[in-house]
Amino acid sequence: MGIDNIYPWTIITDKQKEQKDLILAVEQIFPDSEHRFCVRHLWANFRDAGFKGDILKNQLWTCARSSTVLMWNHNMDLMKGLDQKAFEWLEKMPPKTWVRAFFAEFPKCDLLLNNNCEVFNKYILEAREMPILSMLQRVKQQLMTRYFSKQKEYEGFVGTICPKIRKKVAKNAEFANVCYALLAGQGIFQVHERDK
């Protein structure tokens, strides 16, 4: 494939059951890359295995979003308390493939979903029905105009934080105005919201 530096790559697949051969092939071609599962598809397989309901669904997502091993252990214990068999089903899945706490730190990506591929596939849906050369030309045109419009969008960009994140930071900074911190130890604080 002509890709020399495969270490920083992260591969996200969607359906674990149907794609065992694809997973093995990716592991052979990209042995140093990180392999993850799309948690939405993992949840669909979880549900198809008989673990239905919003409580189990929300707990699965809570487990996946765990940012520390300690938090993941706690959340998995909660899953075990909700449904032993659901816990056992999840325990068979290597946590490094679906839990943030276990993701490698080198790739700067903590996505739990395969949305990028799904959005791209929808974006080129019309083009996919065309003959191959027309399809490639249409996809090229779509990507060219998208890249150009995104470039225009960021032309006035100043600073090290992109505009969408800057808005989130500003919103959190506004919220922080009503908070105060209490010293709880060496470098440890507890944050409280002021009474309004």
Contact 32, 10 (CB under 8 A): no
pLDDT bracket for residue 123 (50, 70, 90)? confident
pLDDT at 158 over 90: no
This prediction's pTM: 0.56
**Average per-residue pLDDT in the chain?**
81
Position 174 scores a pLDDT of: 86
Position 58 scores a pLDDT of: 93
